[in-house]
């Protein structure tokens, strides 16, 4: 866990959340499912003028109305209360009534006309013998309002089919202009600046596009668990607020730098100045963006003015990048560490060493005989697996434990910043792409084994974040490593299928089969990792013909 003393910003407690419920009323249309939306009042206290799904706060009467509602098997008390709240809000805001009589007949226009939207809802339904159709309301997603906002809600997004024959009529106080809209059309209008929506609404509509019918969407919700759960985070991109869900590339970095949700962290990639991540960790990205390097190679600077600094992966031999490293550290570099010897990571080590008055040692693992000529590297001293490097001073200590992780390269290593639970992963784990495993220096079996070693290291040292050599900081390290390993094994299965489909064929014939989900322009690069998969598959005898 990150030391509180190393956080960049004074923390404040986010506003407590209030329970609420939102419902997506759905209907099928010739061009695909449509969802019912309304425009909130321009004077509303929350999201004025936004197009939303009907919904609102959960009140005590909702939890006390279970006997009035139909419940399906597996629907918990909590889900039942949420469904009741959604049904009530749909009626109060739009005059839509999800209810039926004891004989199974759906609520009629006469029932709707007899109910007063401003009077207690449950009592009126009871008087007319109506049962709330909570068993037809399914949980789609779970959203928690962003930590930075002054009003926050903990709200399930529920889904239900619009009752046949009913027409929505807005209350004209909180909600206006009810309309049916295809998710794709709502998103297009939003991009054109004609349809203001909040972030959770946008992301929900984006994911709804995957379903071709109301039945398909409701079937996906049958498991009684939300298809996703999110409390978004926001940073600054181009000087404007930009929000992200869990799993999106900047989310982990925002969680590290601004755990309480303050919107102060810039996400723009640039090579002109270091980006502070903690008081004792900076990232300076080299000016070498490209297909293989993404935004550029991340050089990490660990330490502070009192302890001096450790520079990890000084990058290519670039005078401008080196000068910026010297400025960021005041020239007080105590150690230079290379995670591996590829040309975008280690060539800057010796020039940086020469430019520092203290001549800091260059540490790492020497390139192996399998390395390509451009990756030749000899450190001043080889680092032992488990060795700890440290700088100290002013009452602070910053310690890095070495973890040998061959696979991407035979001399690859990672580092764990012990006091703050950070894993500096070099190229073994990236954000936004998978790393290349390029034989003969790269080895897929070793790569997968090293992922297991990193999982163990994360558990042992309570690692909360991964700092990759390319891309933003990653959160959920154990989950991220598990997903990466699963991706590799799924790719291996595709390679095996390609080898069985075209036995004895050249690699070029297997690439389109095994990497059909990758743009063809990247197939020459993918072929390197394909070879690594093939070598592993053949060594383990995994490509034998499947038995009938």
Is the residue at 290 inside a domain?
A: yes
Domain co-membership, 250 together with 301: no
CA 334 to chain CA centroid, Å, is: 35
Reading across the β-sheet that carries 308-312, which strands appear in turn?
275-278, 281-285, 298-304, 308-312, 333-337, 362-364, 381-382
Is the residue at 395 inside a domain?
A: yes
Is the residue at 120 inside a domain?
A: yes
Domain co-membership, 329 together with 383: yes
CATH of the domain at 326: 3.60.15.10
Helix 199-208 to helix 183-191 angle (10° resolution) is 140
CB contact set of 129 (below 8 Å; sequence gap of 6+) = 101, 102
Radius of gyration over alpha carbons of the chain, in Å?
A: 28
Is the residue at 185 inside a domain?
A: yes
**Contact at 8 Å (CB) between 243 and 233?**
yes
Q: Which of 423, 440, 475 is the last residue of a domain?
A: 475
Q: Which of 420, 449, 475 is the last residue of a domain?
A: 475
Domain co-membership, 375 together with 502: no
Domain co-membership, 165 together with 219: yes
Domain co-membership, 151 together with 274: no
Cis peptide before 284 (omega within 30 of 0): no
Is the residue at 4 inside a domain?
A: no
Domain co-membership, 77 together with 134: yes
**pLDDT tens profile 155-203:** 999 999 999 999 999 887 777 889 999 999 999 999 999 999 999 999 9
**Contact at 8 Å (CB) between 410 and 450?**
no
Report how far residue 86's alpha carbon sits from residue 75's, in angstroms, rounded to the nearest whole number: 15
| pLDDT for position 546 | 54
Is the residue at 194 inside a domain?
A: yes
Domain co-membership, 202 together with 338: no
Domain co-membership, 295 together with 163: no
Domain co-membership, 43 together with 184: yes
Long-range contacts at 209-213 (CB < 8 A, ≥ 24 apart):
209/183, 209/184, 211/33, 212/32, 212/33, 213/28, 213/32, 213/33
Report how far residue 210's alpha carbon sits from residue 453's, in angstroms, rounded to the nearest whole number: 37
**Integer CA distances (angstroms), 357 to 333, 335, 351, in order:** 9, 12, 12
CATH of the domain at 138: 3.90.79.10
**Contact at 8 Å (CB) between 390 and 399?**
yes
Number of structural domains in the chain? 4
Domain co-membership, 306 together with 402: yes
- Domain range enclosing 492: 487-540
Q: Which of 184, 210, 231 is the last residue of a domain?
A: 231
* Spans of the chain, pLDDT less than 50: 547-548
Domain co-membership, 365 together with 283: yes
Is the residue at 2 inside a domain?
A: no
Is the residue at 437 inside a domain?
A: yes
Domain co-membership, 318 together with 406: yes
| pLDDT for position 545 | 66
**Contact at 8 Å (CB) between 208 and 217?**
yes
């Amino acid at each position: 866990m990150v030391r509180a003393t190393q956080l960049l910003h004074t923390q404040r407690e986010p506003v407590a959340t209030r329970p609420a419920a939102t419902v997506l009323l759905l209907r099928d249309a010739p061009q695909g499912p449509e969802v019912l939306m309304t425009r909130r009042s321009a004077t509303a206290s929350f999201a004025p003028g936004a197009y939303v799904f009907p919904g609102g706060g959960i009140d005590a009467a909702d939890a006390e109305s279970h006997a009035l509602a139909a419940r399906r098997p597996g629907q918990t008390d909590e889900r039942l209360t949420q469904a009741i709240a959604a049904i009530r809000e749909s009626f109060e805001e739009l005059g839509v009534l999800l209810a039926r009589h004891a004989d199974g007949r759906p609520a009629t226009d006469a029932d709707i006309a007899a109910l007063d939207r401003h009077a207690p809802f449950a009592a009126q339904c009871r008087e007319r013998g109506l049962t709330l159709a909570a068993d037809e309301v399914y949980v789609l997603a779970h959203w928690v309002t962003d930590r930075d906002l002054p009003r926050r809600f903990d709200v399930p997004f529920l889904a239900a089919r619009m009752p046949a024959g009913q027409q929505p009529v807005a209350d004209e106080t909180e909600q206006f202009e009810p309309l049916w809209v295809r998710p794709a059309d709502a998103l297009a209008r939003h991009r054109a600046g004609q349809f203001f929506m909040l972030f959770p609404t946008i992301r929900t509509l984006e994911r709804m596009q995957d379903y071709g019918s109301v039945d398909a969407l409701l079937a996906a919700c049958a498991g009684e668990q939300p298809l996703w759960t999110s409390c978004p985070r926001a940073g600054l991109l181009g000087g404007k607020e930009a929000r992200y869900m869990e799993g999106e590339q900047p989310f982990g970095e925002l969680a590290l730098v601004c755990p309480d949700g303050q919107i102060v962290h810039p996400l723009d990639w640039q090579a002109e100045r270091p980006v502070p991540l903690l008081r004792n960790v900076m990232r300076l990205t080299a000016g070498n963006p490209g297909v293989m390097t993404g935004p550029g190679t991340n050089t990490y600077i660990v330490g502070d003015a009192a302890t001096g600094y450790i520079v990890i992966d000084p990058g290519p031999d670039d005078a401008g990048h080196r000068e910026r490293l010297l400025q960021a550290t005041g020239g007080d570099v105590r150690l230079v560490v290379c995670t591996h010897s590829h040309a975008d990571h280690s060539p800057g080590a010796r020039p940086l060493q020469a430019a520092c008055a203290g001549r800091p040692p260059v540490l790492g693992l020497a390139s192996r005989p399998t390395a390509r000529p451009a990756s030749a590297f000899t450190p001043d001293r080889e680092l032992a697996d488990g060795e700890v490097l440290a700088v100290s001073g002013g009452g602070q200590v910053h310690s890095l434990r070495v973890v040998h992780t061959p696979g991407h390269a035979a001399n690859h290593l990672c580092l764990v910043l012990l006091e703050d639970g950070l894993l500096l992963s070099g190229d073994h784990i990236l954000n936004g792409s998978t790393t290349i495993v390029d034989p003969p220096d790269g080895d897929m079996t070793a790569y997968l084994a090293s992922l297991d070693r990193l999982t163990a290291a994360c558990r042992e040292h309570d690692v909360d974040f991964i700092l990759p050599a390319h891309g933003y900081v990653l959160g959920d390290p154990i989950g991220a490593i598990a997903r990466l390993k699963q991706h590799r094994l799924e790719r291996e299965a595709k390679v095996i299928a390609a080898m069985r489909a075209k036995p004895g064929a050249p690699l070029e014939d297997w690439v389109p089969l095994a990497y059909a989900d990758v743009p063809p322009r990247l197939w020459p690069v993918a072929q390197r990792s394909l070879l690594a998969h093939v070598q592993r598959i053949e060594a383990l005898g995994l490509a034998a013909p499947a038995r009938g």
